[in-house]
């Protein structure tokens, strides 16, 4: 029967060369599942027992090769994207795509930012006291209360400005580590979410702690903070390349606002700047030895109060004191 032999020949050709599943199998790819593959054969292939009129043969001819080639090309692209995607996503989701990595990046950067933000956290106790006046600095900033070595050892003033700059410094240290991700797209994704978390937290502080209820004013400050962040990236990058003196100058400008005196009028203690430089060098070195999927477990305090990579280390102080 001519129609039957034609159908069988067409099915054999489809299974042999035209089928994307067979071609993909030769490339060790998985483009279409076996179930969907069988379903496509059942729907598109003519039934052998039914006669086929000559006029309908052209309508039942196999799909054009370019359609299968397009499927193969898309499959190859997905595999290449999988190979280039970051190990951060692979550690959590077995086969991440673009959307999967975006969701993973959002959650992980939120945890990373929380550790960055907590380094120089502060509060304003007067807000809970009815009628209490919030103290101001000489520059007119709201003065809060903070703990930790950034305030107690280095003598920084617990204000919104100090918090933002110390947070920027730790975000920069993370960014240096994230630059080692396998692809530039992954770096962009994680960096974008990191600065987004900062913006949301900063706007919340402006509203709750500092009474900036106007959204227009908050947006203006957020734009200024983003410009400062770009400047932080450029200044600290230059310092890492050109040496500790340049890095120390960048730290002094950002954390101490290029002031030659302390908050109480005393002369600037330059060993404090040197300790921050030593801190940055140590943290970058330790982060380079940690897999990116394990950053969350190591940068913050560990079980039993064990200090993490971010935080005070006596080694930094000893290093600076030993060079005096």
Least confident of 79-88, 97-106, 191-200, 271-280: 79-88
Highest mean pLDDT: which range of 79-88, 108-117, 122-131: 108-117
Quick check: is 91 in a domain?
A: no
Residue, of 130 and 221, whose pLDDT is higher = 221
- Look at residue 134 and tell me whether its pLDDT is greater than 50: yes
Same-domain pairing of 41 and 151: no
Cβ-Cβ contacts under 8 Å for 37 (sequence gap 6 or more): 19, 21
State the pLDDT at residue 192: 95
Quick check: is 121 in a domain?
A: yes
Same-domain pairing of 118 and 250: yes
Quick check: is 150 in a domain?
A: yes
For residue 4, the surrounding DSSP H or E stretch is: helix 2-13
Same-domain pairing of 60 and 173: no
Quick check: is 215 in a domain?
A: yes
Same-domain pairing of 130 and 186: yes
Residue, of 298 and 28, whose pLDDT is higher = 298
Same-domain pairing of 61 and 128: no
pLDDT in tens, 49-100: 444 444 434 434 444 545 556 655 665 555 454 445 555 555 554 344 467 7
Quick check: is 10 in a domain?
A: yes
Residue, of 9 and 153, whose pLDDT is higher = 153
Highest mean pLDDT: which range of 86-95, 100-109, 145-154, 182-191: 145-154
State the pLDDT at residue 122: 97
- Look at residue 15 and tell me whether its pLDDT is greater than 90: no
> In the chain, what's the furthest Cα-to-Cα distance?
104
Structural domain containing residue 115: 96-322
Whole-structure pTM value = 0.71
Token digits for 35? 């179930």
Same-domain pairing of 64 and 112: no
Quick check: is 89 in a domain?
A: no
Q: CA dist 24 to 34, 52, 81, 160, 263, Å? A: 12, 31, 17, 57, 68
Q: CA dist 229 to 71, 168, 263, Å? A: 43, 7, 24
pLDDT in tens, 258-268: 998 887 788 99
From 27, 56, 84, give the residue that closes a domain: 84
Same-domain pairing of 23 and 143: no
Same-domain pairing of 212 and 139: yes
Count of domains observed in the chain: 2
* Cβ-contact 37, 19 below 8 angstroms: yes
CB atoms within 10 A of CB 93: 14
Same-domain pairing of 158 and 299: yes
C-alpha closest to that of 169 among 108, 116, 109: 116
The residue-averaged pLDDT of 171-196 equals 94
* Cβ-contact 52, 98 below 8 angstroms: no
Residues 229, 212: Cα–Cα separation, whole Å: 21
Quick check: is 26 in a domain?
A: yes
State the pLDDT at residue 25: 42
- Look at residue 153 and tell me whether its pLDDT is greater than 70: yes
From 54, 84, 114, give the residue that closes a domain: 84
> Angle formed by the axes of helices 215-242 and 160-178, to 10°?
50
pLDDT band with cut points at 50, 70 and 90 for residue 18: very low
State the pLDDT at residue 90: 53
Q: What percent of the chain has pLDDT over 70?
A: 69
- Look at residue 24 and tell me whether its pLDDT is greater than 80: no
C-alpha closest to that of 154 among 85, 251, 221: 251
Q: CA dist 109 to 104, 146, 175, Å? A: 8, 24, 11
Instruction: Classify residue 73 by burial, with Cβ atoms within 10 Å: 0-12, 13-18, 19+.
Output: exposed
Tell me 309's DSSP state: S
Same-domain pairing of 65 and 112: no
Same-domain pairing of 33 and 101: no
pLDDT band with cut points at 50, 70 and 90 for residue 257: very high
The residue-averaged pLDDT of 122-143 equals 91
Residues 291, 190: Cα–Cα separation, whole Å: 15
State the pLDDT at residue 108: 92
Same-domain pairing of 123 and 267: yes
Quick check: is 90 in a domain?
A: no
From 63, 84, 105, give the residue that closes a domain: 84
């Amino acid at each position: 029967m001519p129609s039957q032999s034609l159908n069988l020949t067409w099915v054999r050709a489809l299974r042999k060369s035209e089928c994307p599943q067979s071609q993909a199998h030769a490339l060790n790819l998985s483009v279409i599942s076996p179930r969907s593959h069988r379903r496509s054969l059942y729907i598109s292939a003519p039934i052998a027992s039914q006669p086929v009129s000559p006029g309908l043969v052209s309508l039942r001819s196999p799909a054009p090769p370019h359609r299968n080639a397009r499927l193969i090309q898309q499959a190859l692209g997905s595999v290449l994207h999988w190979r280039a995607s970051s190990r951060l996503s692979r550690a959590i989701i077995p086969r991440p795509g673009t959307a999967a990595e975006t969701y993973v990046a959002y959650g992980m950067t939120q945890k990373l930012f929380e550790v960055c933000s907590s380094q120089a956290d502060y509060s304003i106790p007067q807000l809970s006291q009815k009628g209490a006046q919030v103290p101001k600095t000489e520059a007119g900033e709201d003065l809060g209360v903070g703990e930790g070595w950034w305030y107690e050892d280095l003598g920084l003033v617990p204000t919104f400005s100090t918090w933002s700059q110390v947070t920027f410094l730790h975000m920069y240290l993370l960014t240096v580590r994230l630059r080692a991700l396998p692809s530039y797209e992954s770096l962009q994704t994680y960096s974008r979410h990191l600065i987004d978390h900062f913006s949301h937290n900063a706007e919340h502080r402006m509203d709750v702690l500092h009474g900036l209820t106007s959204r227009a004013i908050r947006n203006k400050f957020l734009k200024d903070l983003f410009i400062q962040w770009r400047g932080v990236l450029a200044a600290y990058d230059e310092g890492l390349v050109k040496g500790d003196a340049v890095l120390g100058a960048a730290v002094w400008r950002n954390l101490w606002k290029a002031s030659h005196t302390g908050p109480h009028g005393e002369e600037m203690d330059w060993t404090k700047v040197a300790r921050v430089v030593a801190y940055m060098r140590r943290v970058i070195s330790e982060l380079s030895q940690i897999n990116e999927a394990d950053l969350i477990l190591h940068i913050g305090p560990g079980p039993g109060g064990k200090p993490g990579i971010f935080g005070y280390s006596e080694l930094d102080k000893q290093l600076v004191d030993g060079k005096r």
